[in-house]
């Protein structure tokens, strides 16, 4: 049998199988996190968040053409692009595994036996298909994210280095190295993870070129590989642009030439220098220099995809993140300045105090005619610093100090030590944020709930009861909800065992290649842990960052087939052993992983992100201003507006970005059908370096001050309205928190700001207390909007915006759905009503909920991911609030219809205690309107769910004191309240069942150690 034909045929079969799987399970529209932004940006060639992914966007734009003008299909075809990229990754992985296996089993000059051929191809099939069905890779394969294409780049370069190695002695073989350089350059326009393969590739070259490798040679080669990574990462990606920027600074500010002339001159210098060097290397017969210079050229050619960023930024598209249209803003865009930096080699503890600051270089922005120096960059000096800082974040808003103390068992006044620092690195950053993900993929996963150290959320399991019970505690009490969770995947550790067998076999039979795969495994896994230096309580799971490491391990899973065959050959012939090992490998890894993983990766029937984005927009009146905050309440909205052209009249304002001067400038321009925001500030008043953060200094004003007057002082250039600091700098400051806004009732009535029935509740003056101790550009812009809007445009806050961003206007925000509308109204509320919070515009909420909102097929979707079912509490609360308000208004029949709609659109499955809490209130409303049978059924289901979960929590607390105590308290309160509710509505059966459950829980809990 011809080796090459078989290798090519089976490789393409793995491509077709994996691609078919991804197409069958891909999400039909935009999903959560970055996907909505990427799809919107790719469709119109716009600028995404730093540091950009221009090549990815351009390629996805090509796939969008397969929609043939059907805007609702554009997201599907971009997701299809990820599926194809993922399938091609599996193709190159297959060829990589067979190439590595062939080097061991088929020595040069010998005949390939049928048994060895079967083993080689079996290894490729098992390893490639195991990676196909690995949790992390499958998740990225079915949505329009950069990680599928980034994995493809990694697969190509590792395959290409093996092709070079196989042909290195042939003429012109170094073309493979130039291909690698070009793909490396291209990959920068997708994601930087591919660069981490360079040390492993360098070792391949060393072993091939050096006849007698030494340990010192290996070490030097690894060092050179790391230097090459640094050269590309900083020398090419950053310093080429930095030199270009400073050339431009000289040409513009010193020579008086136009913007961009210095960039052009520097580009000509680089092109000229490389051209001269290449001709010199040819003339002087210096092949190594020639190869290096050509490699740099090809990396730069690939990196050239970033020209798209500059070109499109000049066109001012709707999404123009960071507006990188000049050398210095482009440099900041590539350097991810928007996100700050994490300390790597030296830094503070989370308890350290700032004692000084060091002055750095100047910061420049583009002015009208020249680049303007906006001041120095500074870094802080702390009283306590450590090498290798891992517990450094002192951000109380994100709960980092509290988490560090909890994780490390530190008291409130305990000072962390270097030992604590290392403990956090090994247990959390390595153990929780890498090993846990690794085991998800190759051992098993308990569920897909986002885990922050809880034993019941996002953990790994094996499916082998004694092992899991020893790890987690209380495994015998595992509730039905966790047993039947689609994301409960039991691999019994078989893929891991197969991979270990493959690694051991590889190191035994070909130590050099095994070391190279090991380096790939390390640099795309633990090295990333070292570099990212992640803080705790991440907003999402970060397993996608380590897909390259799992790719490397999949190589060993494939080679595990040959390791098994070696064992079996002691009892049978090579052919039979190869067939048996392949079958065992297929069943132990890809077949088992596909069986267990299909139900929690099949997103083909889910439309949640898109539909709820439409609901946010449908909550708004025409020409509205909608304030959002996070990725998941912004990116899907960008998608439905930019791609599906849904409600383009609403102006979306992301408060997380509004502190950036470029974003405020963009808000002053019309976008699509949405008018510019009523911001009157001049660009010079909020440019970077000006009014970045204004502190509160109480001037003693007790009476509310008109917001327009406050804004005037904050924007004033009068020295009397500013405070001088010790370093001589001056700044405006907030002199009071007591605000008022005079209301022109005629404007309110003319623009129909409030429902007609509330006309008498319109206030002459809105009075409130500002809720922050500083004013950033975001608040400054919001003040400007409030002062100058004159009630012409409706103003809304998405319900997912944190209360701290309401400016203190909470009492004037009215619930109309998935957004709260600002209205100048006041009601005579009882103390109980004030405690309950929001006021509801019941007619608007009813119309939106019953006639406009769509629900993403949640009730019938085969699978809901964590972000989707995480929205259930918000959705049920929306129905519950509406039903309660209708009931209190005497509109019982309408309240019934609302509850019936809720039960129809919400999935029957209960996913979390948070959902259980709102289901309790839903049960109360069902009783109120006379839907007793449905109330009983819901109360029973909810009670059973919480009861089983509580038993599991208590079983864990019995072995691990203080764990799950908050959840135990929450669950107990739900059952107690449910029992009282059943008694209130005289449902004795339900009441007794719940009281019995409560008594049993109390008995179990009484024996729980309290730490």
Does the pLDDT value for residue 616 go beyond 70? yes
**pLDDT at 570 (0 to 100):** 87
Centre a 10 Å sphere on the Cβ of residue 724 and count the other Cβ atoms it contains.
Answer: 10
**pLDDT at 453 (0 to 100):** 66
**pLDDT at 961 (0 to 100):** 59
**pLDDT at 957 (0 to 100):** 76
Distance CA 713, CA 697 (A): 13
pLDDT tens column, 449-508: 887 766 677 888 888 888 877 766 545 567 888 888 999 999 999 999 999 999 999 999
Distance CA 860, CA 28 (A): 15
Nearest to 433 by CA among 529, 569, 568, 311: 529
Mean pLDDT, residues 625-645 taken together:
96
DSSP 8-class letter at 145 = -
**pLDDT at 471 (0 to 100):** 67
**pLDDT at 829 (0 to 100):** 58
* φ, ψ of residue 271 in degrees (nearest 5): -60, -45
**pLDDT at 734 (0 to 100):** 94
Distance CA 365, CA 367 (A): 6
- Give bridge partners of residue 359 from the DSSP assignment: 378
DSSP per residue, 192-228: GGGGGGHHHHHHHHHHHH-SS--HHHHHHHHHHHHHH
DSSP 8-class letter at 407 = H
pLDDT tens column, 101-120: 999 998 877 888 999 999 99
**pLDDT at 730 (0 to 100):** 84
- Give bridge partners of residue 490 from the DSSP assignment: 444
Nearest to 732 by CA among 783, 786, 771: 783
**pLDDT at 729 (0 to 100):** 78
3-state secondary structure of 986: coil
Does the pLDDT value for residue 94 go beyond 60? yes
Pairing of strands 651-654, 625-628: parallel
- Give bridge partners of residue 774 from the DSSP assignment: 695
Q: Which secondary-structure segment (H or E) carries 885?
A: helix 872-888
Q: Which two tokens stand for residue 799?
A: 């319900």
Does the pLDDT value for residue 758 go beyond 50? yes
Is the separation of the CB atoms in 624 and 796 below 8 Å?
A: yes
Nearest to 885 by CA among 900, 906, 899: 899
Distance CA 817, CA 796 (A): 11
Mean pLDDT, residues 722-735 taken together:
84
Q: Reply yes or no: is the peptide bond before residue 17 cis, omega within 30 of 0.
A: no
Is the separation of the CB atoms in 516 and 488 below 8 Å?
A: no
How long a stretch of residues is the chain? 1011
Q: How far apart are the first and last CA of the chain?
A: 67
Mean pLDDT, residues 515-529 taken together:
95
Q: Which two tokens stand for residue 50?
A: 């730093």
pLDDT band (50, 70, 90) for residue 962: low
- Mean pLDDT rounded to a whole number for the chain: 92
Distance CA 202, CA 227 (A): 11
pLDDT band (50, 70, 90) for residue 964: confident
Q: Which secondary-structure segment (H or E) carries 797?
A: strand 795-798
What residue ranges in 249-291 does DSSP mark as E strands? none
From the centroid of its chain, how far is CA 255?
A: 45
Distance CA 440, CA 490 (A): 9
- Give bridge partners of residue 652 from the DSSP assignment: 626
Distance CA 615, CA 619 (A): 6
Is the separation of the CB atoms in 858 and 906 below 8 Å?
A: yes
**pLDDT at 455 (0 to 100):** 67
3-state secondary structure of 981: helix
Helices (DSSP H) in 738-776: which residue ranges? 745-750
Nearest to 176 by CA among 281, 55, 289, 291: 291
Mean pLDDT, residues 83-99 taken together:
98
Distance CA 614, CA 856 (A): 10
Is the separation of the CB atoms in 262 and 241 below 8 Å?
A: no
Q: Which two tokens stand for residue 180?
A: 């690698």
Instruction: Sort 178 into a burial class: Cβ within 10 Å, 0-12 / 13-18 / 19+.
Output: middle
Does the pLDDT value for residue 1011 go beyond 50? no
pLDDT tens column, 288-342: 999 999 999 999 999 999 999 999 999 999 999 999 999 999 999 998 887 878 8
From the centroid of its chain, how far is CA 389?
A: 24
Distance CA 783, CA 721 (A): 17
Q: By percentage, how much of the chain surpasses pLDDT 90?
A: 81
pLDDT tens column, 367-407: 889 999 988 888 889 999 999 999 999 988 888 999 999 89
Is the separation of the CB atoms in 951 and 1004 below 8 Å?
A: yes
**pLDDT at 338 (0 to 100):** 79
Which residue in the block uniquely carries the two structure tokens 């009892």?
Answer: 571
From the centroid of its chain, how far is CA 329?
A: 24
Is the separation of the CB atoms in 377 and 360 below 8 Å?
A: yes
From the centroid of its chain, how far is CA 997?
A: 39
Distances (CA, A) of 781 to 661, 683, 784, 790: 10, 11, 5, 15
| Residue with the larger pLDDT of the pair 835 and 227 | 227
Mean pLDDT, residues 437-442 taken together:
96
What pTM does this model have?
0.93
Spatial neighbors of 87 by CB under 8 A, at least 6 apart, are 15, 16, 18, 19, 22
């Amino acid at each position: 049998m011809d080796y090459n034909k078989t290798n090519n045929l089976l490789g393409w079969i793995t491509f077709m199988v994996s691609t078919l799987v991804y197409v069958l399970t891909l999400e039909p529209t935009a999903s959560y996190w970055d996907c909505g932004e990427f799809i919107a940006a790719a469709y119109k060639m716009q600028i995404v968040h730093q540091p950009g992914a221009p090549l990815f966007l351009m390629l996805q734009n090509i796939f969008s053409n397969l929609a043939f003008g059907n805007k609702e299909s554009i997201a599907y075809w971009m997701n299809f692009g990820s599926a194809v990229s993922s399938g091609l990754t599996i193709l190159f992985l297959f060829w990589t595994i067979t190439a590595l296996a062939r080097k061991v089993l088929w020595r040069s000059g010998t005949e390939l036996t049928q048994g060895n051929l079967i083993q080689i191809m079996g290894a490729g099939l098992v390893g490639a298909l195991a990676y196909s069905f690995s949790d992390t890779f499958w998740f990225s394969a079915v949505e329009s994210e950069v990680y599928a294409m980034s994995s493809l780049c990694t697969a190509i370069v590792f395959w290409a280095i093996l092709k070079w190695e196989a042909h290195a002695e042939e003429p012109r073989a170094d073309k493979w190295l130039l291909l690698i350089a070009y793909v490396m350059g291209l990959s920068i326009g997708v994601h930087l993870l591919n660069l981490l393969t360079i040390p492993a590739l360098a070792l391949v070259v060393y072993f091939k070129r050096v006849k007698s490798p030494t340990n010192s040679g290996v070490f030097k080669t690894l060092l050179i590989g790391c230097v090459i990574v640094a050269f590309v990462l900083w020398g090419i990606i950053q310093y080429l642009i930095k030199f270009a920027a400073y050339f431009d600074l000289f040409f513009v500010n010193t020579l008086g030439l136009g913007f961009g002339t210095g960039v052009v001159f520097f580009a000509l210098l680089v092109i000229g220098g490389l051209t001269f060097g290449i001709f010199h290397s040819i003339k002087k017969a210096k092949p190594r220099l020639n190869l290096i210079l050509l490699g740099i050229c090809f990396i730069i050619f690939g990196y050239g995809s970033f020209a798209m960023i500059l070109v499109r930024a000049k066109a001012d598209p709707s999404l123009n993140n960071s507006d990188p249209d000049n050398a210095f803003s482009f440099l900041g865009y590539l350097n991810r300045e928007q996100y700050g930096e994490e300390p790597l080699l030296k830094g503070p503890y989370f308890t350290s105090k700032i004692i000084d600051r060091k002055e750095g270089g100047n910061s420049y922005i583009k002015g009208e005619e020249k680049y303007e120096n906006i001041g120095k960059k500074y870094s802080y000096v702390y009283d306590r610093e450590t090498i290798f800082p891992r517990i450094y974040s002192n951000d109380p808003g994100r709960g980092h100090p509290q988490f560090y103390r909890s994780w490390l068992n530190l008291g409130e006044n305990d000072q962390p030590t270097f030992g604590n620092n290392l403990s956090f690195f090994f247990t959390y950053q390595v153990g929780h944020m890498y090993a846990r993900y690794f085991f998800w993929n190759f051992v098993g996963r308990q569920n897909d709930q986002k885990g922050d150290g809880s034993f019941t959320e996002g953990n790994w399991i094996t499916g082998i009861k004694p092992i899991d019970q020893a790890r987690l505690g209380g495994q015998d009490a595992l509730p039905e909800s966790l047993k039947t969770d689609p994301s409960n995947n039991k691999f019994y550790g078989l893929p891991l065992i197969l991979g270990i067998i493959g690694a051991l076999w590889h190191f035994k039979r070909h130590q050099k290649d095994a070391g190279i795969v090991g380096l790939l495994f390390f640099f795309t896994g633990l090295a990333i842990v070292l570099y990212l230096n992640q803080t705790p309580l991440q907003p999402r799971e970060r397993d996608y960052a380590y897909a390259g490491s799992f790719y490397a391990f999949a190589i060993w899973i494939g080679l595990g087939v040959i390791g098994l065959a070696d064992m079996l050959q002691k009892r049978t012939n090579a052919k039979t052993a190869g067939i048996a090992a392949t079958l065992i490998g297929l069943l132990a890894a890809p077949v088992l992983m596909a069986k267990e993983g299909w139900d929690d990766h099949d997103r083909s029937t889910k439309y949640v992100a898109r539909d709820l984005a439409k609901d946010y927009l449908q909550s708004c009146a025409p020409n509205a201003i909608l304030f959002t905050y996070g990725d998941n309440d912004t990116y899907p909205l960008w998608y439905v507006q930019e791609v599906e052209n849904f409600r383009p009249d609403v102006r979306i304002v992301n408060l997380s970005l509004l502190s950036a001067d470029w974003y405020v400038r963009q808000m002053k321009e019309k976008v699509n059908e949405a008018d510019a925001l009523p911001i009157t500030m001049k660009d010079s008043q909020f440019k970077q370096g000006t009014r970045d953060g204004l502190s509160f200094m109480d001037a003693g004003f007790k009476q509310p001050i008109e917001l327009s007057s406050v804004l005037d002082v904050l924007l004033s250039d009068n020295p009397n309205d500013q405070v001088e600091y010790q370093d001589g700098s001056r700044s405006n400051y907030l002199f009071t928190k007591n605000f008022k806004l005079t209301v022109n009732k005629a404007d309110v009535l003319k623009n129909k700001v409030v429902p007609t029935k509330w006309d008498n509740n319109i206030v002459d003056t809105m009075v409130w207390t500002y809720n922050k101790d500083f004013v950033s550009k975001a608040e400054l812009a919001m003040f400007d909007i409030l002062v100058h809007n004159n009630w012409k445009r409706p103003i809304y806050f998405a319900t997912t915006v944190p209360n701290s961003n309401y400016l203190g206007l909470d009492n004037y925000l009215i619930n109309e759905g998935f957004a709260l509308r600002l209205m100048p109204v006041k009601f005579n509320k009882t103390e109980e009503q004030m405690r309950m919070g929001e006021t509801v515009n019941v007619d608007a909420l009813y119309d939106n909920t019953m006639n406009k909102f769509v629900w993403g097929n949640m009730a019938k979707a085969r699978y809901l991911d964590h972000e989707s079912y995480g929205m259930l509490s918000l959705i049920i609360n929306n129905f519950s609030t509406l039903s309660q308000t209708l009931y209190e208004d005497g509109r019982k029949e309408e309240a019934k219809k609302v509850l019936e709609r809720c039960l129809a659109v919400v999935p029957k499955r209960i996913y979390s205690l948070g959902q259980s809490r709102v289901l309790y209130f839903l049960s109360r409303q069902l009783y109120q309107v006379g839907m007793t049978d449905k109330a009983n059924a819901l109360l029973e289901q909810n009670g059973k769910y919480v009861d089983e979960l509580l038993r599991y929590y208590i079983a864990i607390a019995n072995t691990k004191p203080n764990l799950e105590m908050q959840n135990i308290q929450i669950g107990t309160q739900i059952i107690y309240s449910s029992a009282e509710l059943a008694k209130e509505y005289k449902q004795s059966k339900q009441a007794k069942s719940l009281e019995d459950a409560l008594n049993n829980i109390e008995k179990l809990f009484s024996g729980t150690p309290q730490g």
